[in-house]
Amino acid sequence: MRMGSGSNDMQKLWIYDDAQNWGRALLDTARKDGYFDAHLFEEISQPDEGYLFFHMHHHPQVRARHKYMMGQFALNPKLTLIPNYQSAMLYDNKLEQAKALSRWMPRTYVFTTPGSARRFIDSTLFFPFISKSSEGASSHNVRFIQSYEEAKLEIKYAFSDIGIAGRYGARQRGYLIWQEFIEGNDYDIRVLAIGRQRLMLKRYNRSDRPMASGSGHNEPINALDGEAFEALQFANEFFREEKQTWSGIDLVRRGDGQWYMLECTVGWTVDGYKNCLFHGSNRKGSDIWKVLLEEIKAGVFKP
């Protein structure tokens, strides 16, 4: 163990001082570890070199500020970002996720004109389907469209000055994101990547909608049975190919056994995973900050 706060031989670690106290929890763990020269920061001008951990928030105005900051940090080649720049820019941006990650998803369509959306529903048997705003967490701004008439109303309002009402007073205007609904899933599986390490959570659907995110009805997946093993294989392939090392993805399975990713994120409720095992170890989600620091030491986050 390397000792001596501020010593030249210590690895510098910059940690964003976020309102949900992820940063302070990581700082406390890093200082106990003794390997890192760890600092909290709030302003863009503070971090100069080393690793930078940033807990981004999903409120639209706050998220926009955080993405701007991450964009500025990405210009500094002496900083290694956690999450990385691409993951940060994809965070809570389902339009960009649909463009960049569509090969992992159920059939997903983006319409930017009312005519293209009308032609689609007139020429395809696609019902029911999921309609999403580009932003929103915990199933907010996600709708379950079951009929032609409901789809027509989506088109009417999305391409008007009224828009479709969303959380935090947001209005969805000028586009529609429609995604195939994968039937037969009473839950989804959330897989977290903390470097090379994985946590898995089964999240059951809400009582009023076939959507799991934010339902609050969850259970740890600590045994790699057939379904969990398959989900983990799919997730590992996704994380490897998309180079996401601090990320969470939501998975569902079609009846034929094909897995799909619904969306990705870089933020979650830490306490929800405290009883999940890091697969292949005896560590739990409550050890997340220790595990993160071990992965940083191992050089996993270096591009």
Ramachandran bin of 88, using left for φ above 0, alpha for ψ from -120 to 50, beta for the remaining angles? alpha
**What rounded mean pLDDT belongs to the chain?**
92
Domain 11-82 and domain 187-297, same fold? Reply is no
Dist CA 286 CA 270 (whole Å): 8
Predicted confidence at residue 7, as pLDDT, reads: 46
Tell me the whole-structure pTM to 2 decimals: 0.92
Distance of CA 288 to the CA centre of its chain: 16
DSSP summary character for residue 274: T
HSE-up of 141 (CA within 13 Å, CB side)? 26
Predicted confidence at residue 209, as pLDDT, reads: 67
Residues paired with residue 14 on neighbouring β-strands, in sequence order: 39, 52
Task: From the options 1.10.1760, 1.10.1060, 3.40.50, 3.30.110, give the CATH code of 11-82.
Answer: 3.40.50
The pairing of strands 176-180 and 129-132 is antiparallel
Predicted confidence at residue 140, as pLDDT, reads: 76
Confidence label for 67 from pLDDT (cuts 50, 70 and 90): very high
Give residue-wise pLDDT tens across range 178-221. Answer: 999 999 999 999 999 999 999 999 999 876 667 666 667 789 99
> 70 pLDDT exceeds 60?
yes
Dist CA 26 CA 235 (whole Å): 25
Give residue-wise pLDDT tens across range 267-291. Answer: 999 999 999 999 999 999 999 999 9
**In the block, residue with structure tokens 């940690």:** 15
Domain spans in the chain, listed from the N-terminal domain onward: 11-82, 107-180, 187-297
DSSP summary character for residue 217: -
**In the block, residue with structure tokens 């969303």:** 166
> 227 pLDDT exceeds 60?
yes
Burial (CB count <10 Å: 0-12, 13-18, 19+), residue 148:
exposed
In this prediction, residues 68-93 reach a mean pLDDT of 97
Q: Which CATH superfamily is domain 187-297 in?
A: ATP-grasp fold, B domain (3.30.470.20)
How many C-beta atoms lie closer than 10 Å to residue 240's C-beta? 12
Phi, psi (degrees; rounded to nearest 5) at 245: -115, -10
- Answer whether 13's CB lies under 8 Å from 37's CB: yes
Which class in CATH covers the domain with range 107-180? alpha beta
HSE-up of 180 (CA within 13 Å, CB side)? 16
Closest to 164 measured CA to CA, from 174, 172, 156: 172
Give residue-wise pLDDT tens across range 138-186. Answer: 667 899 999 999 999 999 999 999 999 877 778 899 999 999 999 999 9
Residues paired with residue 252 on neighbouring β-strands, in sequence order: 260
